[in-house]
Structure 1
Amino acid sequence: MSARKQNVSLEVIASLCKRRGFIFQGSEIYGGINGFWDYGPLGCELKRNIRDSWWKAMVLSRDDVVGLDAAIIMHPRTWEASGHLSGFVDPMVDCRSCKKRFKADQLCEEQGKKLIPEYESDGKTIKSYMLPEGIKCPACGSTALTEPRAFNLMFKTFVGPVEDESAVAYLRPETAQGIFCQYPNILAISRLSIPFGIAQIGKAFRNEINPRNYTFRSREFEQMELEFFIKPGTDKEWHDYWIKARMEWYTSIGLPSESLNKHVYSKDELAHYASACVDILYEFPFGLQELEGIAARGDFDLRMHQTYSGKSMEYFDPQTKEKY
């Protein structure tokens, strides 16, 4: 006989986590800072257990995956190549009445509507967005909202003693690019041949417009990342394999299968470089949300880094004598 599922509010969970020493508000004695959380005695042990379980499943128990611990701050050209400098943006709006700020697409979605894109002359590239009629501020109910404007989510900093454009750097918004940049080094020093993967666990930072839902939408968080490199033409086979493997891992650590789901991207939803993408979803107290994404990205990332760095990212297949 299975236990009946109980709906527990996020407030109750947050209160329990604080009392038991799992999670505290960051800098709480100074009033806290939105989007940042500290993990207490039990919280850091829980995190370590999850990390260890993931690392064992993805690296230690396999002979086709190796680990990496890349730097948080990378050469700024990295983010040009990856598209983050120009494309890692969210549209935001401000309420002219109560002065609160919101993520525009989220605001529309919550009110059953969608942002209206405006395209460049090529008819494909989105240059800006407009709000549909009738969108209201969820805080005060006003319809006096600014037009959406782009907001880059990367945290900007400076390297060295002089704060000018030549010293600009960014806290990484994802862990994947460190893997792509070190791909040729790992290929050179290891005895791995395709297919193989590179995994890492580390901090990432996103200057979210409106952090919410407790730790789910934070400005500093930890990612567990695997990039798996395959022979062209085997995308579907490996994509299906990893979807199955990842779903099995979540149930193995205790997540009930009935609370897990998948979102299969339609062609219209896919990034221009992806041939397929599936999100693994979990039923949180605030609804069904993404736990992880599994994307067939093709050679886009390696190709872009090859173009921007001038360094070869090609793999020579000793069996077929091909380069790809």
Structure 2
Amino acid sequence: MATKTDKTSLESTQLKDIISHAKEYGFVFPSSEIYDGLQAVYDYGQNGVELKNNIKTLWWKCMTQLNQNVVGIDAAIFMHPLTWKASGHIDSFNDPMIDNKDSKKRYRADVLVEEKAAEYEKAGDLDKAQALVKSLARLLEAEDLKGVQELIISENIKCPISGTTNWTEVRQFNLMFSTQVGSVAEDASTIYLRPETAQGIFVNFLNVQKTGRMKVPFGIAQIGKAFRNEIVARQFTFRMREFEQMEMQFFVRPGTEEEWYEHWKQIRLKWHEAMGIPAEKLRFHDHEKLAHYAKAAVDIEFDFPFGFKEVEGIHSRSDFDLSQHQELSRKKQQYFDNDLNEEGKPFGNYVPYVIETSAGADRLFLMTLCNAFTEEEVTEGDATKTRTFLKLHPALAPVKAAIFPLVRKDGLPEKALEIFDQLKYDFNVIYEERDAIGKRYTRQDLIGTPYCIAVDYETLENNTVTIRDRDTREQQRLPISELSRIIGDAVSFKRIFEKL
């Protein structure tokens, strides 16, 4: 038996293959599919929700458990409308949109230009790609929408549907969903579904600082739903209208923000590598255009089948958010720093600066799925076939182990269920007895289960089982009493923590 891994498996894998796999094996379904679905909205299936929850749990533990100065909250989705006035979302949370008159399709103008730049980069013309990105950033910074339209025309950017350059003018489109709150329609007030989770942290800054007796520097983490009425929502779970964010706002003393920005840049990149993402599939991408309040901003990008795209952002936000809320609410958002006196400086109140780390749970899910999707050629005797499996980190795998009786008689199912009952309190395990055992192995490979445990007649004699490794397909005989230790060691988050 020989195995030859296709070195271009990920590069040659199309996104459609991963989307098909995700649906067929219970990871992601189109939302309300029986009614033909809803664009850019997805439901996580039985395996997808386990994988996504494992990613979120890993992030949460790494933030709040490994850092003694980071705590978590869970803020409400609905917030007072003035929250979004203070944050700038009501006035400036817009994307530039453009329509093609022939196809009647709407696009984000900046995305069209960025995709053209990516074409130049792929063709090896890096100078042209960088010049195009800088031109776009300059035009957006100046809010020159006419210039953006002229750039699209001058670059001969065509509509992917109609193939024409018959474009409308570029217009701004606010991305927030609004709704009404109140029992009587005429008395109802307009509120918004939050477009980000960060503001829930900022408005609770003093609540957490005082009740937790937190000292600057400290962080507040949150995982939660956010909503954006995206002009173009595509590429599966990469860009959706309803999504989950994992954000941490780290409050620092003014003047120290640069060192903390560099600190969190490296910590977050290391986290992605620790969860099993190859270093060559990750890169930093500094923002060409900074938000008006930002001092620095960088994206961590992953090499998806559709190119390098952002999975997490690290931003130095200055004191903008807390200062804005302080001004509009007329309630001080300041910190009294006792430590300044110990350093020979006078006591003082100040509005802390903020370093933000913001990751999309759905994007990390897609990154993990794309990275794990593996196709390799397997030779058994004279036959060669392609083996497909998900090479997930065992700590993230939806199912940790599957227990199979060799046959459905002679007491083997009862013994296998006994093992299942022993392991189920510590791990997410499943029991399966249908079909030939080879087919059962294949099904578990396709959902990324790291271990399969076979119960046979020898098990009844000496309480040993055969355990099969997903990646190598190697099998070993060991006592049932060893299973919990072997599985537990492999699937523990500690294996990831050790790399941080």
TM-score by length of 1: 0.93
Change (3 A) 1:202 1:148: same
Q: 2:297–2:315: 8 Å Cα contact kept in structure 1?
A: yes
Q: Does 2:164 match 1:142?
A: yes
Among 279, 285, 292, which residue is 2:299 paired with? 279
Q: Does 2:239 match 1:207?
A: no
Residue 50 of structure 2 aligns with which residue?
45
Q: Which amino acid aligns with 1:293?
A: G
Residue 39 of structure 2 aligns with which residue?
34
Q: 1:155–1:171: 8 Å Cα contact kept in structure 2?
A: yes
Q: Which amino acid aligns with 2:82?
A: R
CA distance in 2 between partners of 1:276 and 1:45 (Å): 35
Residue 317 of structure 1 aligns with which residue?
337
CA distance in 2 between partners of 1:180 and 1:149 (Å): 31
Q: Shift of residue 104 of structure 1?
A: 1.3
Q: 2:182–2:188: 8 Å Cα contact kept in structure 1?
A: no
Change (3 A) 1:56 1:3: farther
Q: 1:264–1:279: 8 Å Cα contact kept in structure 2?
A: yes
3-state SS of 2:236 partner: coil
Q: Deviation string for 1:64-95 (max 9, x for gaps)?
A: 01111001111110111000011110111112
Residue 255 of structure 2 aligns with which residue?
233
**Equivalent residues in 2 for 1:171-320, closer than 5 Å:** 171-266=193-288, 269-320=289-340
Q: What percentage of residue pairs aligned between the two structures are identical? A: 49
CA distance in 2 between partners of 1:262 and 1:5 (Å): 23
Change (3 A) 1:231 1:163: same
Q: 1:104–1:115: 8 Å Cα contact kept in structure 2?
A: no
Residue 82 of structure 2 aligns with which residue?
77
CA RMSD, aligned part only? 2.0
Change (3 A) 1:251 1:154: same
Unaligned runs of 5+ in 2: 118-131, 341-346, 351-500
Unaligned runs of 5+ in 1: none
Q: Deviation string for 1:175-203 (max 9, x for gaps)?
A: 00000000011112111100000000000
3-state SS of 2:323 partner: helix
Residue 55 of structure 1 aligns with which residue?
60
Q: Shift of residue 143 of structure 1?
A: 2.3
Q: Shift of residue 319 of structure 1?
A: 2.1
CA distance in 1 between partners of 2:39 and 2:102 (Å): 22
Q: 2:79–2:191: 8 Å Cα contact kept in structure 1?
A: yes
Among 74, 94, 97, which residue is 1:92 paired with? 97
**How many equivalent pairs are there?**
318
Q: Shift of residue 265 of structure 1?
A: 3.1
Q: Shift of residue 127 of structure 1?
A: 6.2
CA distance in 2 between partners of 1:224 and 1:38 (Å): 18
Q: Which amino acid aligns with 2:51?
A: L
CA distance in 1 between partners of 2:24 and 2:39 (Å): 20
Q: Which amino acid aligns with 2:179?
A: T
**Equivalent residues in 2 for 1:2-41, closer than 5 Å:** 4-6=7-9, 7=11, 8-41=13-46
Q: 1:115–1:129: 8 Å Cα contact kept in structure 2?
A: no
Instruction: State which structure, 1 or 2, has the greater radius of gyration over its C-alpha atoms.
Output: 2
